Amino acid sequence: MLQLHLFTDQLCRLHSPGMGHPERPERLDAVTAVFDTCDGKPGVTIDPGRDATDAEITAVHTAALLERVRDSQQREIAVFDADTVANSHSCAAALRAAGSACAAVDALFSGQAQRAFVGTRPPGHHAEADRPMGFCFFNNAAIAAEHARRHHGVSRIAIVDWDVHHGNGTMHSFYADPGVLYVSLHQFPLFPGSGRLEETGSAEGTGYTLNLPLAGGRSDNEYLFLFDTLVVPLLDRYQPQLVLISAGFDAHERDPLGSMLLSDAAFAAMTERLTGVAERHAEGRVAALLEGGYSLYGLQLGIAATIDGLRGAQRAAPADARQSATATGGSHTIVDSAVEQIAERAADTLSRQWGRFTV
Ligand SMILES: [Zn+2]
């Protein structure tokens, strides 16, 4: 039976960047509410995770950054930038988030689990090597990837980031590195401003970054069109030995920060496609790591859908895809021309390195 490990701990509720901040403690309650519904289901284990070691953090970040975050424990409030604020518990929460991402990787490679969802906060994908940024202190996805490489001998890891914001920190961590393929679908222009199509990697890492910058208002069918024409075919060529998902839920239609229109069914459908990739190349190993998502209800729906996708539970197909399947026998027809253009440009760029892509 498929084993799914769900990681969370109330320690991650104690981090608070202050009143009115969208990355608020109640987000962890949304995680807990979903995990409670999974508790006791066959194959599901709920795990409090563990703290990251200094070596795990400094595999991605500078020792100076770790010290700055650690020093914040002595203060009531430590302001790293206008968005990124710590209280005295934030360091502990951030260490638990990064360590649990590593624990998820360990569970997958020990064979204890084939799928994992890490429901921790603070998120990670904006954190750069030398500075916290955008609500993020340590880059959980980058730390998990580096941990997989150093401790489990993996040479090809894919990180797929569907958070509505571009994961600048993750991209920069592996920009010149073909050992990690980074794929991001994000709203553009939007914070942090990076993630243009032309950013494809550098040196030996050229071609190992795929950015799909999208105008707001994109729907399920458009995301799935991009998955089916570009993301999945690219992953199939790369043949990752581990699939990590930077699972933000701020592209959900209910989210107050993003303007995308994804229903929860889209998150299940994207997850199923990625578990398919993992089944073909990675012995089924997929870990989803929570990033953003600022509607508490949208977050809950998105997490539940992603967990369904990880478990292979059947859900209704997204409305748009169903409509298009009825009309055309399965092809994607309801796609904005700007999305088609992005897809064609991305296909051209990818074709130079990876062989022909057809949109
Ligand atoms: Zn985000």
> 124: closest CA among 143, 108, 106, 107?
143
Q: Does pLDDT of 317 surpass 60?
A: yes
Is the separation of the CB atoms in 75 and 143 below 8 Å? no
Instruction: Break the chain into its structural domains and give their ranges.
Output: 4-354
**From ligand 1's centre to the CA of 250, what distance in Å?**
6
For residue 25, say if its preceding peptide bond is cis, omega within 30 degrees of 0: no
How much of the chain, in percent, has pLDDT values that exceed 70?
95
Compute the average pLDDT of residues 62-66. 98
Quick: pLDDT tens for 225-275: 999 999 999 999 999 999 999 999 999 999 999 999 999 999 999 999 999
Quick: pLDDT tens for 319-355: 555 454 444 444 555 899 999 999 999 999 999 999 9
Q: Does pLDDT of 119 surpass 90?
A: yes
Quick: pLDDT tens for 7-27: 999 999 999 999 999 999 999
| Cβ count within 10 A of residue 246 | 28
**From ligand 1's centre to the CA of 153, what distance in Å?**
30
Is the separation of the CB atoms in 34 and 308 below 8 Å? no
Regarding the domain delimited by 4-354, which CATH topology (the fold level of the hierarchy) does it fall under? Arginase; Chain A (3.40.800)
Q: What is the mean pLDDT of the chain?
A: 95
**From ligand 1's centre to the CA of 293, what distance in Å?**
6
Q: Would you state the pLDDT for residue 106?
A: 98
**From ligand 1's centre to the CA of 108, what distance in Å?**
26
Is the separation of the CB atoms in 207 and 324 below 8 Å? no
From 126, 166, 252, 332, the catalytic residue: 126
User: What whole-number distance in Å separates Cα of residue 187 and Cα of residue 258?
Assistant: 7
* Residue 183, SS3 per DSSP: strand
Q: Would you state the pLDDT for residue 330?
A: 46
**From ligand 1's centre to the CA of 135, what distance in Å?**
9
User: What whole-number distance in Å separates Cα of residue 68 and Cα of residue 97?
Assistant: 17
**From ligand 1's centre to the CA of 193, what distance in Å?**
12
- CA angle centred on 250, ends 206 and 359, rounded to 5°: 45
Residues 6+ apart with CB under 8 A from 110: none
**From ligand 1's centre to the CA of 49, what distance in Å?**
23
Is the separation of the CB atoms in 144 and 104 below 8 Å? yes
**From ligand 1's centre to the CA of 20, what distance in Å?**
17
For the record, the structure tokens of 247 come out as 């699972």
**From ligand 1's centre to the CA of 21, what distance in Å?**
13
**From ligand 1's centre to the CA of 224, what distance in Å?**
19
**From ligand 1's centre to the CA of 355, what distance in Å?**
32
Catalytic residue status for 126: yes
